[in-house]
Chains A and B, each alone.
Chain A
Amino acid sequence: MIGVFKRLKMWSPRPLKKTYDVVIIGAGVHGLATAYELARRGVRNIAVLERYYIGAGSSGRNTAIIRSNYRTPEGVAFYDQSVKIYEKMSVDLDMNVMFSQRGHLTFAHTEQAIAGLRVRAEINQLTGVDSRVIYPSEIARLAPAVDLSSRPRFPVLAALYHPPGGIIRHDAVVWAYARAASRLGVDIHPFTTVTGINHGGGVVTGVDTSRGAIGAGTVVNSTAGWASTIAAMVGLRLPIVSHPLQALVTEPLKPFLDPVLVSATLNVYVSQTDRGELVIGAEIDPYSSYSNRSTLPFMEASAAHVLELLPSISSVKVLRQWAGVCDMTPDYSPIMGFVPGLKGFVLDVGWGTYGFKAGPISGRCIAELIHTGVTPDLIKPFSITRFASGEMLGEKAAAAVSH
């Protein structure tokens, strides 16, 4: 309890220097984790530049689902590492990020969908991740509020149960990284927009910002929804389309729902936070846009769908809805690493609707890559070159609605 009396001195404002060894664009979980991990490796002279406030992007808007029950062995191995870092984060960064591992259930409403879940369960188990297919009697025990009768148009037949999955206080993660990075000497500059990237002869030399030009040996693009706009500054076209993703939250209720519930058939997922609010989301909007405006049809559809799963919450009220922008790749997997032919430019993008959970491990890998110049094995499958060679990863089935 002693902890309550301590002042959490967050991050310190520092003057903007003329040059940095590493400039990281975007103060979301990815940019900040990368900065922290670089500093931990002893790299000094790092800046994180952020257009708005710390965590203004999707890192401050996501629904904070953390899990590793993906579908490809590459994906599972990668996300599993992140979950492990999250499990220790409160202690490591000395801030309670409230990782609430109350389990994650992905429902199947058709026989074919059960087979799809089983594919994941199999890969998960063979990769050492706790995940299995369960049936209504066990679902009823884990989530008694779920309607398992034959009333719904598409009754629940089975679920993929992933006990270590859950949700986290996403803002706390962002702040914890920002604070830890700042303490190790990283300069974090909010309200500093990157407007151009200086490069020539295949080498990046710095960035232009709303507060003047800055020299940089390495520039990291970790701007998620705006990744294409930053890549365009070096003449690079990414296989990324930005789509809005929306979510809503209800008034707080006495907790009655432990696990996260996801249904691809119904295009909805729901979790209950430690404050008692229900957080409800869906798949990306089908059109591309950089707009953060939310829509009425999203609320209507999500409400209708969530009531199929939880009919008892029909009189619960929605308090807030919002949208973020997601950088979607064709195979629902990220793009990480160096760009052939462009020295000093590093990508950590394509995080789509599932990138929050990956923040810690990406930060670690990208830091290693910058520090050693060698791409870590864990992120080799996510190279940008895979799109030219056709070696894409099949995560759509595991990431479209689940995030």
Chain B
Amino acid sequence: MRMTRQEISFTFDGRRVQAFDGDTYGSALARARVDVISRSFKYHRPRGLLCCAGRCPNCMVTVDGVPNVRACVTRAVDGGTVSGQNAWPSVRRDLFGAFDRLDRILPVGFYYKTFIRPRAAWPVYEGVLRRLAGLGSVRRTPRQADHATKRHMFCDVAVIGGGPGGSVAALAASQAGARVVLIDDQEQLGGHLAYSQATVTGDDVLNGLRGPEASARLEKLIRENPLIEHLPSTSAFGIYEGNLVGASRGDSLYRVRAKQIVVATGAFERPLLFHNNDRPGVMLASAILRLAARHDVRAGRRVAVVTEDDHGCAAALELASSGFDVTALVDSRPAASDQERSAAVRSRHIPVWEGATRIEVVGRSRVRQLRFDSGGGRRSVNADLVAMAARPEPVVSLLAQAGAKLVFDGSTGLFVPAECPANITAAGHVEGISDIAGVLKSARAAGTRAALRALGQPVATPARPLPGAPIGAAPPPPATRKAFVCMCEDVTVKDIKLAIHEGFDALETVKRYSTATMGPCQGKMCHSLSAGVHAGITGQSVGKTGLTTARPPFQPVTLAALAGPHLAPERQTALHDRHARLGARWVDMGEWKRPFIYTTVAEEYRAVREAAGIIDVSTLGKLEVTGRDAGEFLDWLHPNRFSDLRIGRVRYRAMTDDAGIVLDDGTVARLGPERFFLTTGTGAFDAVEQWLQWWLAGSRRDVQTINVTSELAAINLAGPRSREVIKRLTGADVSNKAMPYLAAVETEVAGVPAIILRIGFVGELGFEIHVPAEYGAHVWDTLMDAGHEFGIKPFGVETQRVLRLEKLHIIPGQDTDALSNPVDSGLGWIVKAEKSDFVGRAGIAALGSRSGRPLLIGFEVTGGGVPAEGAAVVHQGRPVGRVTSCKLSPGLQRAIGLAWVNPEHATEGSALSIRLGEGTSGTTTAARVHLAPFHDPEGARLRGGG
């Protein structure tokens, strides 16, 4: 007895459609006799439900603003808004439908042959083409509900497909003790059993049950099985390297990592080829049965069955048992091979027509009649539904993607997997086994085998009988204007013929030219169909023709599901809220947020040059490098030397790659005989750590590295009065004698253990203070308090850049690029050529033989203006260099910068002509090369003597 179901309603193209709770939009439209659901891509032909399984393009609609949704597998929601696509004004009355009559002038690839001349007209034509292209539209506004999720699952056995085969394989695997994930794209397990009337045999748990009962039994057994996790309504769309299964359900992504994968994707019908085989009302037989069984919807009353093999008899019988008036079984073969079944059909008073040719559907937006030649005359059969009953084909795409070898089984005319990759097993109908008993046996064995293997027991794969001998040439396809091979792309038999006649000589080139199999159904309906047609036209065997490459995803996946939840991590230093309270403006540097500026450059600049300033440099990469060979290892990685660095000293470092290109810079301090403290630039940290690890991998050196970047906060205190400030915070002797320039001291600052480095990127007496991150804010506060009376100010990255530019200190990455070597970057002084080999040595040594290399130089603008960073240096209208850094110097009251220029322009005092950048239409300004630092060229302030 059927329970009374709740009624709901939605609109389709503005028209109200009644539905029951549990309906899909597709089933409700079928019940409401809405025949035309979509319009085809090219000819705008009316299209209706075809597969009712989410595998074809015919029911794609826009639902609540989401384009290209498949109505037949989307649960109807009360109040939903559904609209047709690619049609105007509506799919029912689409004015573009006129294109259907233009097929003679719009043959395959017509766009390659037209709109060529005049050349200038192409953009106009293109505009028209673009207006006609595409199916659904995207909404301008982003979707609000960002509910995408991503789940990582690990199991012994993943079973793909929850039909009878997959379900039994999952049960068998769990019985052998394996943890199983069972992925099925339907709401309920059991696949086609739900609408099959036959009695099941072949497995103990199902023996003797009728289809729907068997399917309920499977559902129950799996629900109660603690070892099996069932993902319903979830499509497995790909099997990737490392036995990773990608699956999705709406905007949720599942990444299932399985030791063993059982592919039980079953088999599926495909369309047949005849005139107007795409009319609304022409459906796969399984689709009609599924609608009837699942949703109690009869898509029509009088159904004519078209077939080319014995599957037609089975379909006719099933349809008759499901209450349809079967008006004909039209078979293109001269005689059925299964005489017994054929007799069964006749005994139900279904007229059987054999040897049918020139099959044709009559009716435009709905089937009215089926016509064909048979028994020496033209016949016509009234019908409002045509069932295409072709032998279901193994759904081998996932297997093929995963690398399985397919062979063509001549006895059945099907492609079946011959050899599966390691750790992947095919089970059931996908193997080419079509009787239910055989499917269940194969599946149980495959499930058990996979489980045992996953649990570490080797099991041999039973030898499979070789497929039947290949049959000869494929039969030629029907010669009609409108037999569609590929529904998505509106490719007809005629189009494929034309492509082959035009000289496209391989299935892959025909595919690309005709675009058959390249539409939204991803070839599910047309993959083998088009191969068969190709073979039929070229006179080759289907086996030799082969299939085109199967590419993931097997089912479409939303970008939202793939992207997962929107996570946009940002890194904040331990002092972040201090900066926020000080009103800092932020800048992104890699993942870090850094204070760009607090007040004004002028004010911050003055504090540093005249009193004291502090800047948060916690974002520097920090590594401890320890071990017996640490010094030697650092020597190997750098053009300069560290093994001779004295304990308590710090030295500038710049690192080069194999080719001698500058990678990054920073400092190395020696804190103990086997203990070095290394800092890197903010952005380069990951790369440097990886670089160290790369060189250590497989090396016998006794070296350990510890990444202490987030463990330490770092503050740079700089300015003529900085010593007075720090003196108040530490017991250590900070006099120039005890802690001279380039000293590295471990001590306490503000009662906290600290490393102090006497260095100064900004060119003043400076102390770089590293303290445990949890005390960072405390030390910052204490410094600010102690510095108050001296006029201490925090300064941001922007001010720091100005300050360092006055010293012509470079920033690798900004002032260097993928071709910059240390010598030409002004770092020649670090290269210790006499040193034994180091990374990059050969590249640097080879420089000597090259002339004309550009050099990095300092410059000052004499002609006014501030050239933009990146602006070209020009000479007689040709580029001779580029500006890498340029700022207005508050000290000099003019712009200064760094630039790469050709060597003839790189000598002290050379006049340069520099463009000002965008918005200046190429205006240039005058500048002069200035090789020495602008600020404190002797470094007296930096050394901080006196």
A275 to B588, CA, bound (A): 38
Closest residue to A99 on the B side, CB-wise? B122
CB distance from A282 to the nearest CB of B (A): 13
A288 within 8 Å of B (CB atoms): no
- B559/A255 in contact, CB under 8 A: no
Contact of B568 among A10, A153, A392 (CB under 8 A): A153
- A320/B564 in contact, CB under 8 A: no
A118 to B899, CA, bound (A): 14
CB distance from B466 to the nearest CB of A (A): 26
- B506/A8 in contact, CB under 8 A: no
CB distance from A208 to the nearest CB of B (A): 23
- A96/B68 in contact, CB under 8 A: no
CB distance from A136 to the nearest CB of B (A): 14
Contact of A126 among B137, B253, B520, B872 (CB under 8 A): B872
Task: List residues of chain B with CB within 8 A of the CB of A299.
Answer: 246, 553, 557, 562
Contact of B879 among A126, A154, A256, A393 (CB under 8 A): A126
Contact of A256 among B137, B238, B241 (CB under 8 A): B137
Report the stretch among A33-41, A87-95, A347-355, A369-377 that lies at the interface. A87-95
Task: List residues of chain A with CB within 8 A of the CB of B522.
Answer: 319-320
Task: List residues of chain B with CB within 8 A of the CB of A122.
Answer: 870-872, 879, 882, 915, 917
Contact of A252 with B869 at beta-carbon distance under 8 Å, contacts A9-B502, A314-B560, A320-B522 already known: no
A269 to B335, CA, bound (A): 57
Hey, what's the 0/1 contact readout for B575-602 against A, CB within 8 Å counting as 1? 0000000000001110000000000000
Name A348-403 residues within 8 Å CB distance of B: 389-394, 396-397
Hey, what's the 0/1 contact readout for A291-309 against B, CB within 8 Å counting as 1? 0011110011011101100
- A316/B917 in contact, CB under 8 A: no
Which of A60, A299, A313, A392 has the most B CB atoms < 10 Å from its CB? Answer: A299
Contact of A295 with B508 at beta-carbon distance under 8 Å, contacts A12-B503, A126-B877 already known: no
Name A51-67 residues within 8 Å CB distance of B: 52-56, 60
- B116/A8 in contact, CB under 8 A: no
- A111/B587 in contact, CB under 8 A: yes
B558 within 8 Å of A (CB atoms): yes
CB distance from A130 to the nearest CB of B (A): 13
- A115/B884 in contact, CB under 8 A: yes
- B119/A389 in contact, CB under 8 A: no
Closest residue to A13 on the B side, CB-wise? B505
A169 to B915, CA, bound (A): 38
Hey, what's the 0/1 contact readout for B517-552 against A, CB within 8 Å counting as 1? 011101000000000000000000000000000011
- A314/B563 in contact, CB under 8 A: yes
Task: List residues of chain A with CB within 8 A of the CB of B918.
Answer: 118, 121, 132-134
- A60/B253 in contact, CB under 8 A: no
Task: List residues of chain A with CB within 8 A of the CB of B244.
Answer: 296
Report the stretch among B104-112, B175-183, B775-783 that lies at the interface. B104-112
Contact of A110 with B588 at beta-carbon distance under 8 Å, contacts A96-B112, A96-B114 already known: yes
Task: List residues of chain B with CB within 8 A of the CB of A8.
Answer: 109, 112-113, 502-503
- B142/A311 in contact, CB under 8 A: yes
CB distance from A164 to the nearest CB of B (A): 12
Query: Which size class do A's interface residues fall under?
Result: 35 or more
- A254/B563 in contact, CB under 8 A: no
Hey, what's the 0/1 contact readout for B815-826 against A, CB within 8 Å counting as 1? 001110000000
A117 to B122, CA, bound (A): 30
CB distance from A195 to the nearest CB of B (A): 21
Contact of A295 among B241, B847, B850 (CB under 8 A): B241
- A317/B556 in contact, CB under 8 A: yes
Closest residue to A112 on the B side, CB-wise? B814
- B871/A118 in contact, CB under 8 A: yes
CB distance from B261 to the nearest CB of A (A): 14
Hey, what's the 0/1 contact readout for B744-764 against A, CB within 8 Å counting as 1? 000000000000000000000
B843 within 8 Å of A (CB atoms): yes
Contact of A392 among B238, B819, B878 (CB under 8 A): B819
Contact of A312 with B135 at beta-carbon distance under 8 Å, contacts A118-B870, A300-B562, A389-B846 already known: no
> What are 26 sample pairs from A and B whose C-beta atoms fall under 8 A apart?
A1-B105, A7-B501, A56-B508, A90-B122, A96-B111, A96-B114, A126-B878, A145-B140, A172-B112, A252-B520, A254-B134, A274-B126, A295-B241, A296-B238, A299-B562, A303-B563, A312-B139, A313-B559, A314-B148, A314-B563, A319-B520, A319-B522, A319-B553, A321-B553, A390-B843, A390-B846
Taking Cβ atoms with an 8 Å cutoff, the residues of B that contact A are 41, 66-68, 105-107, 109-117, 119, 122-123, 126, 129-131, 133-143, 146, 148, 150, 238, 240-241, 244, 246, 251, 253, 255, 403, 498, 501-506, 508-509, 512-513, 518-520, 522, 551-553, 556-564, 566, 568-570, 587-589, 659, 813-814, 817-819, 843, 846-847, 849-850, 868-872, 874, 877-879, 882, 884, 915, 917-918, 922
Taking Cβ atoms with an 8 Å cutoff, the residues of A that contact B are 1, 3-13, 52-56, 60, 73, 87-88, 90-91, 94-101, 109-112, 114-119, 121-123, 125-126, 132-134, 144-145, 147, 152-154, 169, 171-172, 175, 179, 190-191, 250-256, 273-276, 293-296, 299-300, 302-304, 306-307, 311-322, 330-331, 389-394, 396-397
Shortest beta-carbon contacts, A-B, top 4: A276-B134, A118-B870, A10-B503, A153-B568
